[in-house]
Amino acid sequence: MRSEGADNLHWVWHVNWLDEPEQKWNAFENYFPGEKYCDWVALSAYGPTTPRMEDGTENFAFKMREAYPRLLKIAPGKPIIIAEFGCDLHNKHCDAAEWARDALADIFRGNGLRLSAFAGGMRGWQNDDHKKNDTDMIIWHDENLTRVFREALARHSDKIQEAPLLRNSTGD
C-alpha cells in the first residue's frame, strides 16, 4: 500500500533468472508479494560470475526463455526491467564483451520481450582472500566491453528515453 505523498516512489520486485537452489520450494514465484504490492518487476541474468566458474555460459536469450514467461505469468501487465546482466571479465570460458553484445542485441531486438528498462552489469565483489578470484563485471574495466555498450547504445539511440519520467508530489 502507498502512503500519501509517496506518488513518486515505486517498488521494484527483483529476482534472478535461476532459482538457486533449483528446488520447487525455492521457485521465485513463491516469493512474489502480489500485484498490489509492487509497481515493476525485474529480472537479472548473468553469465559466469567468477573468473573460474565453468557453468552459466548459456546466452542471455536462453536465460530469458527460461525465466521471462514465469515472470509474465505472475505479474501480467507490470512493467519489466532487466535489472542486471553480464559476466565476469576474467572468466576463461566466456568472453564478457561477446556475451554482452549478444544480450544487448536481444534486448534491443525485443524477441518477444516486453521490457521497460535495463541496466548492465556494473559491479564487482570479493569472493575469497585471493584477489585473482574476485568478480569484476564493471563495464569500464574492459575496453572491449565498454565499446560494446557504447556502440549498442548509439546504434539504438532511437529506442532510449532521453530523460527519466518523474512527477513531483502534486502530480505535475
CATH number for the domain spanning 103: value is 3.20.20.80
Q: What is the rounded CA–CA span in Å between residue 96 and residue 48?
A: 9
For residue 92, give its domain range.
12-158
Which phi-psi region, left, alpha or beta, contains residue 102 (left: φ > 0; alpha: ψ -120 to 50)? alpha
Angstrom distance (rounded) from CA 85 to CA 136: 12
Residue 168, domain member (yes or no): no
Q: For residue range 76-129, list pLDDT tens digits in order.
A: 999 999 999 999 999 999 999 999 999 999 999 887 778 888 877 678 999 999
Count of domains forming the chain: 1
In a domain, 59, yes or no: yes
Looking at the chain, the whole-number percentage of residues with pLDDT higher than 90 is: 74
- Predicted TM-score (pTM) of the model is 0.83
In-domain check, residue 165: no
Q: Please report which confidence band the pLDDT of residue 3 belongs to, taking 50, 70 and 90 as the band edges.
A: very low
Sheet holding 12-16, edge to edge: 12-16, 40-46, 80-86, 117-118
